[in-house]
Structure 1
Amino acid sequence: MDPKTPAQQARAVARACRTASLATIMAGNPGHQPYASLVLVAFDHDAAPLLLISRLADHTKNILASDRVSLLCDGTVGLSEPLTGPRVSLLGMAEKTDEPRHRARYLARHPSAEMYAGFGDFAFYKIHVERAHIVAGFGKIHWLDDYLYAGDSAALAAAEADILQHMNTDHADAVQLYATKLLGKSGDGWSLCGIDAEGADLLRDGEVARLGFAKTIATAEEARVELVRLVKQARGS
């Protein structure tokens, strides 16, 4: 049995996704029809989704007319029976954001987006999640009003860039162990692209992997302690 709460499970599924299906309300003529599209997604420290989209795209035109959206995060990739796997639908409002942290978190997860992030027609958006729906397996279905992480992440967010640089520059061997020994991933060249209160995100050639923590953290020192514990676990596995 998964000891995590449904909200923790939902955040873990979402944060592990590199892409998602975005549903918007079609603007213009014919209007009011649902429109689904594929987007690259990142997540803020509270697990709110972050998007980088062009106003030339239909989904952005729809958002500018009606900010109500839904985002499907699919955790079933690679399963022979996808309907037995986890997926999360996030419902809320999309709002344009100029917050530097949002840009940094998104581009760390999607480095190739740097080439067009500065184009005049592109902008970052944050989805303010109001409700979530998780299907975690047969009979494990929940509507959630507490999807977002509610802990204080301010200190960790402020230290995130330094933590990532330190780990990727001075402890690349540890990051590689996280990927191969703890997450069962193959290949060399894994790096940390994000860290939050509940875990860290690893990246290699466009593949994202999620490393969960044993307990939540709130500071750079707590991050150091947990990352050291995990590398010891990896070396002993």
Structure 2
Amino acid sequence: MTQSSALFSAALALLRQTQHGVLATQSLVLPGYPHASWLPLVLDEAGRIVLVMSRLAEHTQNVLLDEKVSFLVHEPSATLSGARLTILGDLQPVPDDPLLLARLARQNPQLASYLAMADFSVWRLWPRRARYIAGFGKMGWIEGDEWETAAQLSLADESALIQSTLLPEGCELIGVDWAGCDLRRNGQLERHILHCDRFDLAALRAAIDAVIRA
């Protein structure tokens, strides 16, 4: 694995255990200055950040003028030795996508409920570059095309796996990707790393079943 690929894998692992972050937009009120906003997030099938934003919000007004943004996520500890990731990219509206909306609703039902209000809509951050830092000497730049070329489990395959998985009471399977699965068990979110060959759906299903039975 190259250094760039290793950095991307670590950055993606951080993203997959994160539920919120800080969006920095170009201020409309004070041009030239960044405007930072705390926002909840979910990820699409490629690990790109997906947001639900109100048109009335200051950050949305800024993005409508200039889609160039950055987004910061970090480990819960938020210390200088903890991992953090700043993604620079273009934040754009998402066309209607029922499978993505279903993923959003599984991952964050409260966030999805805002879409019932007319001024809320879904946006996706298309990475251009990202800066990953995991402590002294453990840092580097990641190119945006890493998200495009990485192995992805399609939303259709994810949906089929979730719908066909038998779950015990109090357990929800809310997300699946080639690196792991996300459960909501008795109201608590759990991220489980899976070790199986990519592009082998049968092996992925078996790994998920093993996690659920544990």
Contact 2:99–2:159, Cα closer than 8 Å, also in 1: no
Distance 1:111 1:215 in 2: 29
Q: Which residue of 2 aligns with 1:183?
A: none
Alignment of 1:1-237 (within 5 A): 5-27=6-28, 29-75=29-75, 77=76, 79=77, 82-98=79-95, 99-145=97-143, 146-148=145-147, 150-153=149-152, 156-167=154-165, 170-172=166-168, 189-203=170-184, 208-215=189-196, 217-218=198-199, 220-230=201-211, 234=214
Unaligned runs of 5+ in 2: none
Contact 1:94 1:127 in 2 (8 A): yes
Across the aligned residues of Structure 1 and Structure 2, the Cα RMSD in angstroms comes to 2.5
What is the deviation of 1:118?
2.2
Match of 1:101, SS state, is: helix
Instruction: Structure 1: give runs of 5+ residues left out of the alignment.
Output: 174-188
Q: CA deviation at 1:221?
A: 2.1
CA contact (8 A) 1:42 1:49 kept: yes
In structure 2, relative to structure 1, the CA distance for the partners of 1:131 and 1:70 (3 Å cut) is same
* Cα displacement (A) at 1:193: 1.1
Deviation at residue 218 of structure 1 after TM alignment: 2.9
Total equivalences in the alignment: 209
Q: Which amino acid aligns with 1:172?
A: P
Amino acid at match of 2:56: L
Query: When the two structures are superposed, what TM-score results if normalisation uses the length of structure 1?
Result: 0.78
Provide Cα deviations, 1:59-114, integer angstroms capped at 9, x if missing partner.
11111000011111111x1x3x7111111111100110122232222221111123
- In 2 relative to 1, CA 92–162 (structure 1 residues): closer, same or farther, beyond 3 Å? same
Note the C-alpha offset of 1:205. 7.3
Could you tell me how far apart the structure 1 residues matched to 2:21 and 2:185 are? 19
- Larger deviation: 29-38 or 223-232? 223-232
Tell whether the 8 Å contact from 1:22 to 1:36 is kept in structure 2 after alignment: yes
Q: Secondary structure at the match of 1:5?
A: helix
Q: In the alignment, is the contact (CA less than 8 A) between 1:35 and 1:59 conserved in 2? A: yes
Percent sequence identity over matched residues? 28
**Alpha-carbon distance in structure 1 between the residues aligned to 2:72 and 2:141:** 14
| 3-state SS of 2:131 partner | strand
